[in-house]
Structure 1
């Protein structure tokens, strides 16, 4: 087979509305923060809403800064290894990717206010920089599809959303032909043989990051009530390279004549006739480069109803992003006389958009609400969090004089695709000695999709060591698992084609090894 070394996407994006469709997918991507904090809190499963005394409190619960009795500074390094196992029509594929980075750095400055036991005890200020998301990933799946072709999806896109220019492009590439519906309208059917075996390969390579710089304050009132606030500035860069490849046979004359007996593909005197019963290789390549920045705010409180209990809560505002999207797409098809041929007898190529440009818009992420509870024992503690996020409330607002009516369409598609979730986190710490502590944690993430399976959870283990009275070292290992299904393209009218959208099962696993070195002063 003549498959080239290709990279491609898990989602079919129509040439008719490529920017709009990709932005709907980005509604979730740029709303999640999955990679924040120091090694101590990561070892605890990031169950930090009711905890303090760690620099992660700057972006976790800023009220936790009120627990500091002295200043603190730390830096966190991490190695991340990502692995993906996929299954598509019975074929299994594995891909791995690794990355080293500085994940977190910060400082807290302690300002005591009262030498007594009543009133305000301190007001502390914290600064931090952290990677909140790691977009580096490589997903590949491939197999033999005997049920349908991506050209069926092209035909559905034309039938449901219009786009005569796209239809003409596909006709000129000899990928579709016209047929008359019973209501007198004209639609298009694929020339590639839907029921023939087609080798399909899909490769998705993403890279980039999301980071946050934040300043926070926290105060301690009477060692009972702790309050705080944070202002965060987020920047991200996201690069997405997508390629899909399909290799099979075009239809013979007997397959074409029932749909269009007058087709030029059936006339030996016409140029199109030479594309009947031929080998073909089709490529659908997509590239996206997105970058943006935004601001958000957070307020938090921790209350101690008893010496051994903490109750914490935070409210996080939306992040108000300004985002720039650059994208392009290419569809290419090569035709061969048979499977043994190494040189195509005809090739076609179409690039979208005709004049690539940058598309700028605003995106507003959902509000987030957290509640936490911590119970302390003589040699450690247990802490648990619950977070509520409604991803269906993500909004987009157009800029640069773009059509404002697209906002309502986009908002509706987001509401149709996403739903609210409750994420759970639990973790604990045990002091083996006065200098060595062990930690463990577990995270469960709710499914943000209304109509798709998505299971995501992570577990963590950690160790902490007090090296001296001022120096400390924390280590954590976090293993995340995300099981989901993905499609290279979508068959919109499954009843008409008598087939279903092809899906691949993906098991995504990411292991982070995190090391924090800090000093108190």
Structure 2
């Protein structure tokens, strides 16, 4: 399989010049995507809310929907999120689960009627809300026996880059890599390549992306509804990525074939103990990224007839300031025998922690929606357009234009525009109970990787009294993609980079309690 259609994780190499740029480009997509948080009612409807109003979610959805309120409203939405991942790697299946409980949404709308009677402006309403727009809680793990190559081949490739010289000098001392006398061969692994190796990748992420928004909405003649909001975004993203590999180093003849003068293959040299030794390698990388920013949105809903709504929104970029902290290291334990409890020696490559600050400007978003009302129900649909290739990374103060141009090009090379589709429906079962269902399709933002993502939702609404209501919803998301823990120079090594198939499933159970006043 070629590199096309595969995503790559960012182990160890984040500490290198090569990969710091790729890390920021990858993070730009992570922090610009949203999972459409909101109340249980709109989640049950598949979040098809561009042409709907009268819900707290309108504050961050289509603020024109605030014009539909005929009295003040307050609500709180809690959720339980469970992330389940199945990783398949060289025929081995591994499953991991990660769950959390939190507040999905909380908001209040204040209703201000006018005195213009049956014509003109009917009301001006103001709302404020907190919304969890994305949750990074996840644990992706895959493991298996790789008979084709080793991560040390990736290290050997990196050592060929002069920019990684200082790191390469440290890695050379671990005895994982040897230098060939033939320039065509360059650096080569001391560990076995086309032999069985146990490999495990374990990626744990936590954090959130939230928005606090202040919005207004107005109703003109019960025909045209307009609104706008200003949002204040904050996020924190923590990831711990560990890749481990266990196997055997090469025998003397295999090492001499690459370097006849190798001290490792010299029986009189102390390094000879590394020949045909059992090894366990751990590549550990951690990252914390924090940021805050501001954006705005304008929206409108028009009723050509009493049973139809047409809605549209324009969402500005979010202008974010981001602080990024990373650390990484490699540890190798060498054993005489696989059954030994303690290694005869441990080698480490320590890298200095990195700190970086930059600005991220996310894409514009455009959405249109249509809703049809019936005597005891409704149908609603949205289409959203987002061009992720227009994500922009900027140095603080614009101090490095060449770096910014390289980032812009990487965005264009990596990402593309998508169309997201949301549909939902609601039916009134009784005068106090409603049932809802919805479906979402998310376009693939990657130019060179397969990424299938969709979700379905079910919900119920209960009118507990004249002014108190409760809504429930369950949303199940499925995301299928391929990922590789490392990429090697396939032409040089005559081997393909390893690939894992990941099936990510996320179930979100949501409860909203609200009251009108």
TM range, smaller chain = over 0.9
Residues 478 and 505 in structure 2, CA contact (< 8 A), matched pair in contact too: yes
Distance between the aligned counterparts of 1:39 and 1:254, measured in 2? 66
Distance between the aligned counterparts of 2:348 and 2:397, measured in 1? 31
1:6 corresponds to which residue? none
2:441 corresponds to which residue? 444
2:461 pairs with one of 455, 460, 464: 464
Structure 1: give runs of 5+ residues left out of the alignment.
1-8
Residues 10 and 203 in structure 1, CA contact (< 8 A), matched pair in contact too: no
Tell me the secondary structure at the aligned position of residue 96 of structure 1: strand
Q: Give the CA deviation at 1:467.
A: 1.1
Q: Does 2:359 correspond to 1:376? A: no
Q: Does 2:414 correspond to 1:408? A: no
1:119 corresponds to which residue? 120
Tell me the secondary structure at the aligned position of residue 103 of structure 1: strand
Aligned residues: 508
Q: Give the CA deviation at 1:217.
A: 0.5
1:5 corresponds to which residue? none
Alignment of 1:99-498 (within 5 A): 99-159=100-160, 162-180=163-181, 187-353=186-352, 356-399=353-396, 403-491=400-488, 493-498=489-494
Q: Give the CA deviation at 1:413.
A: 1.7
Distance between the aligned counterparts of 2:333 and 2:306, measured in 1? 73
Residues 11 and 241 in structure 2, CA contact (< 8 A), matched pair in contact too: no
Tell me the secondary structure at the aligned position of residue 60 of structure 1: coil
Of 277-286 and 356-365, the range deviating more from structure 2: 356-365
Residues 333/400 of structure 1: CA separation in 2 closer, same or farther (3 Å cut): farther
Tell me the secondary structure at the aligned position of residue 288 of structure 2: strand
Q: Does 2:44 correspond to 1:43? A: yes
Residues 393 and 408 in structure 2, CA contact (< 8 A), matched pair in contact too: yes
Residues 12 and 490 in structure 1, CA contact (< 8 A), matched pair in contact too: no
Q: Give the CA deviation at 1:296.
A: 0.5
Q: Give the CA deviation at 1:400.
A: 7.2
Residues 91 and 142 in structure 1, CA contact (< 8 A), matched pair in contact too: yes
Residues 161/86 of structure 1: CA separation in 2 closer, same or farther (3 Å cut): farther
Q: Give the CA deviation at 1:325.
A: 0.8
Task: Write the deviation string for residues 222-244 of structure 1: whole angstroms up to 9, x where unpaired.
Answer: 11111110100011111101111
Q: Give the CA deviation at 1:167.
A: 2.0
Distance between the aligned counterparts of 2:354 and 2:326, measured in 1? 7
Tell me the secondary structure at the aligned position of residue 264 of structure 1: coil
Residues 439 and 462 in structure 1, CA contact (< 8 A), matched pair in contact too: yes
Residues 12 and 487 in structure 1, CA contact (< 8 A), matched pair in contact too: no
Distance between the aligned counterparts of 1:460 and 1:258, measured in 2? 60
RMSD over aligned CA atoms reads 1.6
Residues 360 and 400 in structure 1, CA contact (< 8 A), matched pair in contact too: no
Distance between the aligned counterparts of 1:209 and 1:401, measured in 2? 28
Q: Give the CA deviation at 1:374.
A: 0.6
Q: Give the CA deviation at 1:161.
A: 6.6
Of 509-518 and 397-406, the range deviating more from structure 2: 397-406
2:510 corresponds to which residue? 514
Distance between the aligned counterparts of 2:407 and 2:184, measured in 1? 29
Q: Give the CA deviation at 1:344.
A: 1.2
Distance between the aligned counterparts of 1:205 and 1:196, measured in 2? 29
Residues 13 and 21 in structure 1, CA contact (< 8 A), matched pair in contact too: no
Tell me the secondary structure at the aligned position of residue 105 of structure 1: strand
Tell me the secondary structure at the aligned position of residue 483 of structure 1: strand
Residues 365/193 of structure 1: CA separation in 2 closer, same or farther (3 Å cut): same
Distance between the aligned counterparts of 2:114 and 2:230, measured in 1? 23
1:84 corresponds to which residue? 85
Residues 11 and 243 in structure 2, CA contact (< 8 A), matched pair in contact too: no
Distance between the aligned counterparts of 2:474 and 2:162, measured in 1? 48
Tell me the secondary structure at the aligned position of residue 178 of structure 2: strand
1:504 corresponds to which residue? 500
Distance between the aligned counterparts of 1:299 and 1:400, measured in 2? 29
Q: Give the CA deviation at 1:265.
A: 2.0
Task: Write the deviation string for residues 314-355 of structure 1: whole angstroms up to 9, x where unpaired.
Answer: 1101111111111100111111112122221121112112xx
Tell me the secondary structure at the aligned position of residue 264 of structure 2: helix
Structure 2: give runs of 5+ residues left out of the alignment.
1-7
Q: Give the CA deviation at 1:358.
A: 2.6
Q: Give the CA deviation at 1:160.
A: 5.0
Distance between the aligned counterparts of 1:294 and 1:339, measured in 2? 52
Alignment of 1:11-26 (within 5 A): 11-14=10-13, 15-17=15-17, 18-26=19-27
2:64 corresponds to which residue? 63
Distance between the aligned counterparts of 2:157 and 2:397, measured in 1? 31
Residues 385/359 of structure 1: CA separation in 2 closer, same or farther (3 Å cut): same
Distance between the aligned counterparts of 2:282 and 2:303, measured in 1? 61
Of 151-160 and 79-88, the range deviating more from structure 2: 151-160
Q: Give the CA deviation at 1:357.
A: 4.5
2:3 corresponds to which residue? none
Tell me the secondary structure at the aligned position of residue 318 of structure 1: coil
Residues 86 and 141 in structure 1, CA contact (< 8 A), matched pair in contact too: yes
